[in-house]
Amino acid sequence: MSLEAVRAILASARSIAVLTGAGISAESGVPTFRGPGGLWRDYRPEDLATPEAFARDPRLVWEWYDWRRRKIAEATPNLGHYALVTLEKRAPDLTLITQNVDGLHPLAGSRNLLEIHGSLWRTRCLSCHEVRDNRELLTRLPPRCACEGLLRPDVVWFGEPLPYELLKRSIRAVEGCNVMLVIGTSSLVQPAASMAGEALSRGTPVVEINLDPTPLSERATHFLQGKAGDILPRLIA
């Protein structure tokens, strides 16, 4: 049973790299992007999470983010998030790379965390470029900076480069790890989706945990099908 094999690999690994996607937050009630309930007013993420969409209609894009912020404000981390916190405490070296912008990993207590697509709990001003934490209920959309500039969510949209430092640290973690976990991601969005292939090309075991098969599944060393909130606690028991 590959659960035993994976548990053994994790127990002996010195350095672990973890990549998570929206699926790890699904059991917290946060809708995923491409699964059921992920759509908002029939828009696709690729239609709204772009600089062009924001330039064209900042209010509409902020309505989407405001809807997500309100949903996520009611969400709490689930057993999958907490299992990764326990694993980080145990493993000598664990880097958690997340595509999620929901802030549930830091809330659960993950420390060595790279939020490579940013966070919807931060804003960035288009005029003065100030980046600020912002968890308040937005009363006016789009929100404005104290300098009167237009605020945007501090996330990475399609067509935008990932923060260089975070990408560099992610690649270094993947290149240096003894095992990589890929959890709750459809492995469609680049460049995150290429990281597992990088590990495999170095002979590093890659363990995928997902409800359904993805383009990674047949290449992964182990594919554990099921809910992250069920499987992860069993892996660290």
Candidate segments 69-77, 169-177, 184-192, 200-208, binder of ligand BV8 by CB under 6 A = 184-192
List, by residue number, the catalytic residues.
117
Residues from 113 through 152 that contact ligand BV8 (CB under 6 A): 117
**Residue 69 in the binding site for ligand BV8 (CB under 6 A):** no
Quick one: which of 162, 166, 138 has its CA closest to 152? Answer: 138
Residue 65: other Cβ atoms inside 10 A: 23
Give how far Cα 18 sits from Cα of 10, 147, 163, 231, Å: 11, 39, 18, 14
Number of residues that bind Zn ion (CB under 5 A): 6
The residue among 73 and 147 lying less far from ligand BV8, judged by its C-beta, is 73
Please check whether residue 60 is in contact with residue 213, taking contact to mean a CB–CB distance below 8 angstroms. no
Please check whether residue 72 is in contact with residue 79, taking contact to mean a CB–CB distance below 8 angstroms. no
The residue among 12 and 118 lying less far from ligand BV8, judged by its C-beta, is 118
**Residue 156 in the binding site for ligand BV8 (CB under 6 A):** yes
Candidate segments 3-11, 31-39, 55-63, 199-207, binder of ligand BV8 by CB under 6 A = 31-39
**Residue 38 in the binding site for ligand BV8 (CB under 6 A):** yes
**Residue 103 in the binding site for ligand BV8 (CB under 6 A):** no
**Residue 150 in the binding site for Zn ion (CB under 5 A):** no
Spell out a b/e string for 131-149, using b for 16 or more CB atoms within 10 Å of the CB, else e: eeebeeebeeebbebeeee
